[in-house]
Every structure is written in structure tokens, then in C-alpha cells.
Structure 1
Amino acid sequence: MFKGKKVRLRAYQLDEAKTVLNLLEEDGLRETLVGDIIFPISFEAEKNFIEKSTIPNGELFNFAIESLETREYIGGCGINSLDRKNSKVVIGIWLGKKYHGKGFGSDALRVLCNFIFQEMNIHKIKLHYFEFNESGKRCYEAIGFKEEGRNRKELYRHGKYYDTINMGLFKDELR
């Protein structure tokens, strides 16, 4: 368990599948998270994800994000890919919509990045977001991520193409 000022990152609990699904299925949230076709997640699929997350998988860690004040599950974050040779990871993070804009995301992201830099001795952290995800952009920039590139009109969503933006962070840039 790793603590910030507002959140702690902890292991998923097997009985959280329904809570996770309820947050993920909030209107418009998943469209900021996945580049594929948005299709409802089944309870069994989420339960399987949580079960896999509780078993060590090398260095691809998934964390539940919990509010320190209320002790409730509010989202998730983790390492999506690891390149040990070049000492870099790609991460992802999400929060239920009612927790956006309250500092939970930047606190969780800061804790995750500290874990990656301090515990894993990683040189660079990368992430990707869709251009319409303004709250994500504000969160990433708040802790020091810098835009490194743009994939023009790469995501098709609701009848329109959008850019995907690549960001990176080094240890000395973390705020």
C-alpha cells in the first residue's frame, strides 16, 4: 500500500468487481479510456481482471485507488507495459467521474510515479490520452508530464477522428 495526501494505492479486493463496473460504466467515462469499440464489460470479465490483478505478474502492477478520507474505491491505475532494457513503462489511470477535478487523480498519479521511480528504478514513464480528455490532460501536466508527440486523427469516436497525445515524465520533472 502506497499513500499520498488524498489517496492510497492498494491491491484490488476480490469482492470489488461490482463497484468497479459501476464506476467504469458511468456515462462517457470509458470513451476516454479505450481506443477500441466501447462494449459493455461483463461482471465475469471484471471479476477475472481483478482475480488476475491479485496474482503477481512480473512487474506489471495494477492498483486500486482508494480515498484516504472515506476508504472507498474510486478508480484504478497501473503499469500497462514495461521495457526493462530501455528502463521505461507505459501507465494508465482512471477515476470515477464524481471524483474528477478534486485532486484525487493527480495525487494517485504522483504516488504511482514515485513507486515506479523509487521502487522499480525506472528512467521514464509514458502515457497516452485522447485529445478530448481535458481533465486527464490537466492532471498529467499538473505533476510534470510533457507532451512528446501527437498521432493525428488516430481515434474514431462518435463520428469524428481525434488525435492521441503521447506524454513522458522523467524523475527530475515530477512535481
Structure 2
Amino acid sequence: MPRLIGKTIMLREYRKDDLKQINQFTLDGDVTRGLSNIFMGNHTLERTESFLQYVLTYGGNDAVFWIIAEKETGDYLGQIDVSAIDWTSGIGTLGIVIADCKNHGRGIGTQALALLLDYCFSRMGLRKVELLVFTFNRPGVACYRACGFRVEGKLREQGLRDGRWQDMYRMGVFAREFYASTAANKYRDVLPGYAPARQQNGQVLPGASESPQTYQIPQGFRISQDPGDIDTEKLYTWLSQQSYWARERTREVFQRSLEGSTMVFIVLDPGGSMAGFARVVSDGATMYWVGDLVIFPEFRAQGLGKALCQEITRHPDLTGLTGLLSTADAHGLYQRFGFEETMTTLRKAP
């Protein structure tokens, strides 16, 4: 994950030398009292090491993880993540911990949340972030409210704390609510998505964080249209083994599909390896069809999918034409670029 730099803190990658600090907070009852039930067990060093190894080697696309750290030194302060991401609905679940009680009340949590939410809404394209918090955790609730979260309901007797069952709030925030919040305004200078999400009169546009200005390809990545940049072995292996639409495609058909495409778009990482792909077939006058669009799992949650869609829909040979595609799970992504569901399309199988 990219580092997110704030005013006094940053969100950085996990490191092996974070192990001691992570394990230390799990043994502090004053810290874990307000956290979820998973912290109520016996957290041995081995268990923490297993978690750290999981994060360091994580290759999925339904979670993002950061360490909260001092801006100048990178010293560990806590952890923050969004997990259980449902890309169809554009919703993820937040988790955060400030690991030392002496750092509570310093505004670290609010600043970390602002950095995270800006990334979720302006780079990842999520619609909403939600969480659960104990009703007795008033500082936590206040922090979330400062970032635009609203109470959406109460779960009764959800967790055992202090010898009795305690209630929890379910809270959620949409992009428009976050960018109108006091936290977003306070940290606006370090939030790349803030300005595009605001009108001059200070009001937040519905879906304003979806402005094309925010879909910048991450530093070091680039999008090529040179067929020579296609890693055909990697692409065919993924399509034939991992995709839901091309598993029965033979290698011969795969090769012919590349050769018959009007144009191809290859996302390349800083080292020149293929991170994503899409191909387009067009008559050059009325329509184009987008197919085999993929960001490989190890490169997801960085905004590459949106950058790729933007590159396609803004291509000078395709602007003004009707775009077509099929998807079973990424409607929210494509709707950002003007694609709409239609009931008039017919399909003839081979």
C-alpha cells in the first residue's frame, strides 16, 4: 500500500520489526477494552506473529492495512485497516487502534481516519465505510462523528465488558459526509481528494469524490498500448484459471482475441511488470466493447482500475462512441465512467 502522509503522522506499510509493539498493545486491557471481541482472548507472541505474517503476505483485494506512525521517525503508534470490502456495493468495514493510552486524546485517531477515508473515497472508489463501536466508548464515538460518521443503529448486548454485556453502535459514513466533516476540513491540506469533492460554496456534491481529477495512476505505474508489453503467459493463466468469464477459453482463442482487438491497454508497475490489462474492440464510428479488464490481485486497492477505465473512456478514438461491456461484480466501478445497466441487450452464445 502507498504511504499516506499527514500533518504529524503517516500511514505506512507493516514491517517485521512492528511485532513487539503490536503484541504489547494486545496485552493491555485498557486498550483492548474498547476493541472488538477478537482481542479478548490470549494473545501470545506466536499468535501476533501469525497475524503479522498474514498481513505482510496478503495478496487479496478485500482489505487494506496500514501502520499508524510518527511522520518524522516512522515509529509505531497503532494500526488502521478497512476489511470485508464488498466491491459490488462499495462498502468496507473500518478497524483502528491507538496502541498506547498515553497517545489517546492527541488527535492521532482523527488524523489517521481522515487520511484513510480520503484514500478509500478518492482512490479506492468506495461509497461507504462502516464500523462497530461500544456505546461506552465516548471518545471513540466523538472521533468518528468528527469524521462524518453517523449512528445507524444499536446492537444490544454485543460484547462482554466489565462483567456485563454491552451495547454497540453501528456507524457509517459516505464520501459526501466525510468531506463535509470537521476532520476533513482540518486536514484538507493533506487530503488529495478534498478539493475535488467540494464546490466553491463549500457544499459537497453527491458523488463528488468521483471527479476524474482524482483518478491519478499511482506514482511509477503507467499504461501502455504497446502489445509487446503484454505478458501473455500471465494473462492467459489468470483468465483461464481465475476469471469467471474466460475459464473455457483455449490458448488459441485467447491469442486470436488479442490479435483481433482494436486496441489494448496494459498497466505496468514501476519495474515494468504487467499489473493489469484490458482490450477494446470498436468499429471506430458508433461503438466500442471493453473486454478482459483485470487488475491482478497483488496490485488491487491502489486506484489502478479507475485509472485504467479513465484511460479507456478518454481515449480520443473512443470519445463520442457508445461503450459496451459485461460484468457480474463491478457495476459501481463502471458506472463512475458513464456505463449504465440496460435491459435491451441480447446475447447469442457461440
TMscore range, shorter length: over 0.9
1:149 is paired with a residue whose SS is strand
Work out the percentage of aligned pairs sharing the same amino acid: 28
- Between stretches 100-109 and 23-32, larger displacement belongs to 23-32
Could you list the runs of 5+ residues in structure 2 that have no partner in the other structure? Answer: 182-350
Residue in structure 1 matching 2:80, options 77, 80, 102: 77
Is contact 1:53–1:61 with CA below 8 Å preserved after alignment?
no
Is contact 2:5–2:11 with CA below 8 Å preserved after alignment?
yes
User: Where is the strand percentage greater, Structure 1 or Structure 2?
Assistant: 1
Match of 1:29 in 2: 31
Letter in 1 for 2:92: V
User: 2: distance between equivalents of 1:45 and 1:62?
Assistant: 18
Match of 2:167 in 1: 163
Is contact 2:26–2:39 with CA below 8 Å preserved after alignment?
no
User: Which structure has the larger Rg?
Assistant: 2
Query: What is the Cα deviation at residue 71 of structure 1?
Result: 2.7
1:57 is paired with a residue whose SS is coil
Spell out, residue by residue over 1:114-149, the C-alpha distance to the aligned partner (whole angstroms, 9 max, x if none). Answer: 111111101111011011212211111111111111
Query: What is the Cα deviation at residue 48 of structure 1?
Result: 1.6
Is contact 2:14–2:55 with CA below 8 Å preserved after alignment?
yes
Query: What is the Cα deviation at residue 21 of structure 1?
Result: 1.3
| Higher RCO (CA < 8 A, seq sep 6+) | 1
Is contact 2:11–2:112 with CA below 8 Å preserved after alignment?
yes
Match of 2:69 in 1: 66
Is contact 1:66–1:73 with CA below 8 Å preserved after alignment?
yes
Is contact 2:92–2:128 with CA below 8 Å preserved after alignment?
yes
Paired residues in the alignment total: 175
Letter in 1 for 2:33: E
Spell out, residue by residue over 1:91-128, the C-alpha distance to the aligned partner (whole angstroms, 9 max, x if none). Answer: 11010212111010000011111111111101111011
Query: What is the Cα deviation at residue 37 of structure 1?
Result: 7.2
Match of 1:91 in 2: 94
Letter in 1 for 2:176: D
1:29 is paired with a residue whose SS is helix
Q: Aligned in 2, Cα 1:144/1:35: closer, same or farther, shift over 3 Å?
A: same
Match of 2:129 in 1: 125
Is contact 1:6–1:103 with CA below 8 Å preserved after alignment?
no
Letter in 2 for 1:49: F
Residue in structure 1 matching 2:44, options 37, 42, 45: 42
User: 2: distance between equivalents of 1:5 and 1:25?
Assistant: 30
State how 1:10-29 maps to structure 2 within 5 Å: 10-29=12-31
Spell out, residue by residue over 1:45-97, the C-alpha distance to the aligned partner (whole angstroms, 9 max, x if none). Answer: 11121121122322311111101144310100101211111111111101021
TM-score, normalised with respect to structure 1: 0.93
Query: What is the Cα deviation at residue 6 of structure 1?
Result: 2.2
Q: Aligned in 2, Cα 1:17/1:36: closer, same or farther, shift over 3 Å?
A: closer
Q: Aligned in 2, Cα 1:21/1:164: closer, same or farther, shift over 3 Å?
A: same
Match of 1:113 in 2: 117
Q: Aligned in 2, Cα 1:134/1:87: closer, same or farther, shift over 3 Å?
A: same
Could you list the runs of 5+ residues in structure 1 that have no partner in the other structure? Answer: none
Q: What is the aligned-residue RMSD (CA, Å)?
A: 1.5
Letter in 2 for 1:147: V
Query: What is the Cα deviation at residue 36 of structure 1?
Result: 4.9
